[in-house]
Amino acid sequence: MTAPARPVLLTGASGALGRHLAKALSEHGWRLRLTDIVPFPDPMPANASFVKADLNDGVALIRQAEGCGAILHFGGVSVERPFEEVLGPNLRGLYHVYEAARREGARVVFASSNHSIGFHERPTGNSERLDHDCAFRPDGYYGLSKAYGELMGRMYWDKHGIENVNLRIGSCFPKPVDRRMLSTWLSFGDLTRLVERCVLADRAGHAVIWACSDNPASYWGRDHRERIGWAPRDSAESWRPEVAHVTADPVTERYQGGGYTAIEYSRAKPSPRDAFSLED
């Protein structure tokens, strides 16, 4: 795989996905600038450097991005948390990322999430799969911040011409651990190849990609993967005989966002399939 001509900034480098990407991309000869609010816990990959920085610090982020051709934005709060904890890193921090990208003319690869659409019900067949232009239906403050991030990418593309690829990541783990992940699982290998194509593709524009492996039970349909030349190679299906866990919570099992939808859930009846319906 060809390495980019310019360095690449990776935020959230000390997280699980950041650590994997730092190692994997370095092995392909990429020059990486790593940053996170906590120290990098692994041996430093070849051709990489690390600076500890807070996403709330716009000046620090701009300095790290100088000369970079792409920003892989995997930083911020990565699970459901109270709004005040999400606000700084996930909203203000994203603004700093896009301002840095605007200064450098860099492409942004944004680690969005399936939780931006988590209150869509799970499909009963392939004909009901969601396409990339479905309505946002976030399942919490974390998912709401990811919807905000995708909309910020739309605005920076329209207003400033900043290319961005929004990866609606499903469940990126070594293997599926429950029935839901037979639909949402993304292998580490598919993640690496996806990020490579996001950066190396000739043109990206404003793109949305369902970041999951080639799972027959996937909830998701059309997206922009052909634009960047990516197709997943792995599949969760081989783990089906080993994965039996289904929760007893009807809210968790009804919606695509799984357990995040049930956090502080207080409706007496499920919300309608049409988000704007008056029916309960």
Catalytic sites, residue numbers: 142
**3-state helix/strand/coil string of the chain:** CCCCCCCEEEECCCCHHHHHHHHHHHHCCCCEEEEECCCCCCCCCCCEEEEECCCCCHHHHHHHHCCCCEEEECCCCCCCCCHHHHHHHHHHHHHHHHHHHHHHCCEEEEEEEHHHCCCCECCCCHHHCECCCCCCCCCCHHHHHHHHHHHHHHHHHHHHCCCEEEEEECEECCCCCCCCHHHHEECHHHHHHHHHHHHHCCCCCEEEEEECCCCCCCCECCCCHHHHCCCCCCCCHHHHHHCCCCCCCHHHHHECCCHHHHCCCCCCCCCCCCCCCCCC
Q: How far is CA 186 from CA 24, 113, 136, 164, in A?
A: 16, 12, 21, 20
Instruction: Match 């993967």 to its residue by tokens.
Output: 225
What's the rounded Cα separation, in Å, for the pair 237 and 239? 5
| 226 Cβ neighbours under 8 A, 6+ residues apart | none
